[in-house]
A and B are shown apart, each in its own frame.
Chain A
Amino acid sequence: MAVNTQHISSIRQARERRISIPHYLRLDGSRYLFGLVLILALMSLIVLAQTGVVATKGYATARLEKEKTILIRERSQLQEREARAHSLDLIRRRAEQIGLRPITPDQVRYLNIPAVRK
Chain B
Amino acid sequence: MATRTNNSPRTQPADVAPPARVRLERWRINAVLLLCLLLIARVVIRLADLQVTQHETLLAKARTEIDQQVPIQAQRGMITDHLGNVLAMDVDRESLWVVPAQIDREQAPTLALALSAILNKKHEDILKIITDENHYWLPVERWLTPDVAAKIDALNATGLQWQYEPRRVYPQGVFAAQVIGAANYNADGISGVEGFYNDQLQGINGSVQAEFDPKKNLIAIAPSRTIPPRNGAKLTLTIDPLVQYVIERELQKAVELHHADGGSVIVLDPKTGAIRGMASLPTFDPNRYGDYPVDVYGRNPAVSNLYEPGSTFKMFTVAAGLQTRSFTADTQVDDTGTVYRFGQSLSNWDSGGNGMIDPAHMLYFSSNVGALKLNEITGPEKFYSMIGKFGFGKPTGVDLGGEEGGIVNSWGTSAYSDIDLLTNSYGQGISVTPLQIVQAAGAIANNGVMMKPYIVEQRCQADRCIDTTPTKTGQPIDQGVAWTIRRMLVNSANHYAPVVWAAKTGNQSDQWLVPGYQVAAKTGTSSIPLANGGYDESYTIGSVLGFAPAEDARYVVLVKIDRPKDDIWGITTAIPVYYRIVDQLLRYEKIRPDPALASPGQEIPGMTSTPTP
Known: A16-B9, A77-B146. A84 touches B220 (CB 8 A): no
**Is B22 an interface position by the 8 A CB rule?**
yes
Known: A105-B605, A106-B612. A77 touches B241 (CB 8 A): no
Cβ < 8 Å to A, chain B residues 555-613: 592-593, 603, 605-607, 609-612
Give A21 Cβ to nearest chain B Cβ, in Å. 22
Cβ < 8 Å to A, chain B residues 62-93: 85-87, 89-92
Once bound together, how far apart are the Cα atoms of A82 and B221, in whole Å?
42
Once bound together, how far apart are the Cα atoms of A57 and B217, in whole Å?
12
Task: Find out whether the CB atom of A5 lies under 8 angstroms from the CB atom of B85.
Answer: no
Known: A58-B220, A110-B607. A83 touches B86 (CB 8 A): yes
**Is B297 an interface position by the 8 A CB rule?**
no
**Is B29 an interface position by the 8 A CB rule?**
yes
Which of B51-59, B169-177, B420-428 contacts the other chain? B169-177
Task: Find out whether the CB atom of A89 lies under 8 angstroms from the CB atom of B19.
Answer: no
**Is A44 an interface position by the 8 A CB rule?**
no
Residue from A2, A55, A108, A109 in contact with B221 in the complex, judged by beta carbons closer than 8 Å? A55
Give the chain A neighbours of B469 by CB distance below 8 A. none
Which of A6-14, A24-32, A33-41 contacts the other chain? A6-14
Give the chain B neighbours of A54 by CB distance below 8 A. 220-221
Task: Find out whether the CB atom of B175 lies under 8 angstroms from the CB atom of A87.
Answer: yes
**Is B154 an interface position by the 8 A CB rule?**
no
Known: A76-B89, A109-B606. A87 touches B173 (CB 8 A): yes
**Is B36 an interface position by the 8 A CB rule?**
no
Task: Find out whether the CB atom of B217 lies under 8 angstroms from the CB atom of A1.
Answer: no
Residue from B5, B19, B169, B219 in contact with A5 in the complex, judged by beta carbons closer than 8 Å? B19
Once bound together, how far apart are the Cα atoms of A112 and B606, in whole Å?
12
Known: A13-B9, A58-B220, A62-B217. A80 touches B2 (CB 8 A): no
Task: Find out whether the CB atom of A79 lies under 8 angstroms from the CB atom of B610.
Answer: no
Known: A1-B26, A108-B605. A62 touches B169 (CB 8 A): no
Residue from B19, B242, B611 in contact with A109 in the complex, judged by beta carbons closer than 8 Å? B611
Residue of B nearest to A52 (CB): B221
**Is B23 an interface position by the 8 A CB rule?**
yes
Task: Find out whether the CB atom of B172 lies under 8 angstroms from the CB atom of A80.
Answer: no
Once bound together, how far apart are the Cα atoms of A101 and B403, in whole Å?
40
**Is A19 an interface position by the 8 A CB rule?**
no
Cβ < 8 Å to A, chain B residues 158-214: 164, 169, 171-173, 175
Give A65 Cβ to nearest chain B Cβ, in Å. 8
Give the chain A neighbours of B21 by CB distance below 8 A. 3, 5
Give the chain A neighbours of B86 by CB distance below 8 A. 79-80, 82-83, 86
Residues of A at the B interface (CB closer than 8 Å) are: 1-3, 5-9, 12-13, 16, 51, 54-55, 57-59, 61-62, 73, 76-77, 79-80, 82-84, 86-89, 105-110, 112
Given A55-B219, A87-B171, 19 more A-B residue pairs with CB atoms under 8 Å apart are A1-B29, A3-B23, A8-B2, A13-B9, A16-B9, A58-B217, A59-B220, A76-B90, A76-B91, A79-B86, A79-B91, A83-B86, A83-B171, A84-B172, A86-B85, A86-B172, A88-B242, A106-B612, A108-B609
Show 23 A/B contacts (Cβ-Cβ < 8 Å), sorted by A. Answer: A3-B24, A5-B2, A5-B22, A6-B2, A8-B2, A55-B220, A62-B218, A73-B92, A76-B91, A77-B146, A80-B86, A80-B89, A80-B169, A82-B86, A83-B86, A84-B172, A86-B241, A88-B175, A107-B612, A108-B609, A109-B606, A110-B593, A112-B592
Closest 10 CB pairs of A and B: A58-B220, A108-B606, A83-B171, A105-B605, A83-B86, A108-B605, A88-B245, A62-B217, A84-B171, A86-B85
